[in-house]
Structure 1
Amino acid sequence: MSERSYADECGAALALDAVGERWALLIVRELMFGPKRFADLRSGLPQASQNVLSQRLKELEGAGVIQRVKLGPPARAQVYELTSAGVALEPAVVALAQWGARLDVHHGSKMSADSLALLLKALYRPAGPSTVSVALQLGDDQFAIHLDSDAIQIKRGAAQEPDAVLRGTVQSWWDVLFGSVGVEASLDTGAIEITGDRAAADQFLESFPAPGVFTGTGSLVDRAAG
């Protein structure tokens, strides 16, 4: 817990005492889909200094949100992972991502692979009744994604026997899924690559409709109209 406190017994205030400092919830985001080494966290949060990141990790560990574990051979590395309490924050983080995706604010900064994965989780709307498994490969980052009519499951790591494999950069897939670049155009330029069952890939691609956008008066309108 941070040394600063709201000194308020409201559950929301107590939660903010634990995870309300800058970078804290983004650390939770980076660990939502699997453990990470300190260096990987730095890569996903490049604007956080090493000292600040170390301090936030210490605070989150003290609050019981994350823990350090040592991987066995051959890795033999120390990683950070969410505790049960940290995992319980997932609905709140997803809800924040859903709300934030509707803000008409853009900084022009790069997204981490986990940022894109969170956005997929936040904006998922089933596009069909079929169960689909895809592997999303974003450079060195890989995610196994399982879709069904009720939910989307995303885990960091290689997918086992996926229906389709999608490759590209974080930016190229953001452009396809949430921007104005078409799938076929991106395939033609080589910005993305799709192998395997194209019907399964298409169902995946159709499962993330662009969110509405809040206007200056706070009303929610279709993004194209906004």
Structure 2
Amino acid sequence: MTRASPKRRERNYRQYCGLAAALDAVGERWTLLIVRECMLGPRRYKELLADLPGIGTNLLSERLKKLCALGVLSHEESTDRGYVYELTGMGESLREPVKGLARWGMALLDEVPDDSVVRPHWGFLAVEAMADATRCPSVREEYEFRVDDEVFHLRVDHGVTEAARGACADPALVATTDAATFVRIGSGGCTPLEAVEAGKLSLSGAPEAVLRCSTVLGLSPGS
């Protein structure tokens, strides 16, 4: 008779501290990246697996099971006999910390390594993380971003920003680029002007709108 292998005990910091408790919950490798993917809306298991290359099916299942048990994600069966995962209210409360980490991490990025993966929808999260409409408190307009085959927009309304997937009705600016270039601009690897001159970015809109959008995103439009 084969003896069942003992259940692996989950390691934790054993510290009575909010930060330690948070890291015990979501500090494991891949966990916050799963949260990042679900910040875009409900995601199917197959979509998560495709957009997290290298994670492996068993590890993804393990992380999803833990996030559901913690109440960070909920899941329901989809029509294709898989599961759809989405953030709960508790999971949504991770949005600002994840955006803050994304902003902090942008400064650590260098040139895009040959073996790195870049997904267009990560540009959506980059915009959401970088945007601060209080830099232009009197502005009310929308900016549309076309990153590879994804389209999303940023609404700025008197100091408040809202990012959403899809096109907008009357954009003051339309920016078209690829995901790698978008991330390079956000990390300071190049300016919007340099990307335009290199043929990696096209901008359609009034120069004043370009300046306002750059200001909202904390970017220098020129050199």
TM-score (norm 2): 0.74
> 1:65-113 deviations in whole A, cap 9, x for unaligned?
01124678xx998532111000001121122223323447677234333
CA apart distance, 1:199: 3.5
Classify the secondary structure of the residue corresponding to 1:18.
Answer: helix
Separation in 1, partners of 2:139, 2:78 = 36
The match for 1:131 is 140
Stretches of structure 1 that go unaligned for 5 or more consecutive residues are 212-223
State the AA in 1 paired with 2:147.
Answer: L
Classify the secondary structure of the residue corresponding to 2:74.
Answer: strand
The match for 2:154 is 145
CA apart distance, 1:16: 2.0
- 8 Å CA contact 2:185–2:191 kept in 1: the answer is yes
Residues 194, 39 of structure 1: alpha-carbon distance in 2 compared, 3 angstrom cutoff: farther
Q: Which has the larger radius of gyration?
A: 2
In the alignment, structure 1 residue 89 sits paired with structure 2 residue 98: no
The match for 1:56 is 63
- 1:22-171 to structure 2, matched below 5 A, reads 22-69=29-76, 78-103=83-108, 108=113, 109-126=116-133, 127-128=135-136, 129-171=138-180
Separation in 2, partners of 1:170, 1:133 = 20
CA apart distance, 1:185: 5.3
Classify the secondary structure of the residue corresponding to 1:171.
Answer: helix
Q: What stretches of structure 1 move > 6 A for 4+ residues in a row?
A: 104-107
Residues 87, 204 of structure 1: alpha-carbon distance in 2 compared, 3 angstrom cutoff: same
Count of aligned residue pairs for this structure pair: 209
Residues 99, 178 of structure 1: alpha-carbon distance in 2 compared, 3 angstrom cutoff: closer
The match for 1:192 is 201
Q: Alignment RMSD, CA only?
A: 3.3
TM-score (norm 1): 0.73
Identity among equivalent pairs (%): 32
State the AA in 1 paired with 2:209.
Answer: A
Separation in 1, partners of 2:168, 2:60 = 30
The match for 1:174 is 183
CA apart distance, 1:10: 2.6
Separation in 2, partners of 1:157, 1:41 = 20
Residues 202, 78 of structure 1: alpha-carbon distance in 2 compared, 3 angstrom cutoff: farther
Separation in 2, partners of 1:117, 1:94 = 11
Residues 185, 97 of structure 1: alpha-carbon distance in 2 compared, 3 angstrom cutoff: closer
- 8 Å CA contact 2:38–2:86 kept in 1: the answer is yes
Separation in 2, partners of 1:173, 1:102 = 14
Stretches of structure 2 that go unaligned for 5 or more consecutive residues are 1-8
Classify the secondary structure of the residue corresponding to 1:3.
Answer: coil
State the AA in 1 paired with 2:84.
Answer: V
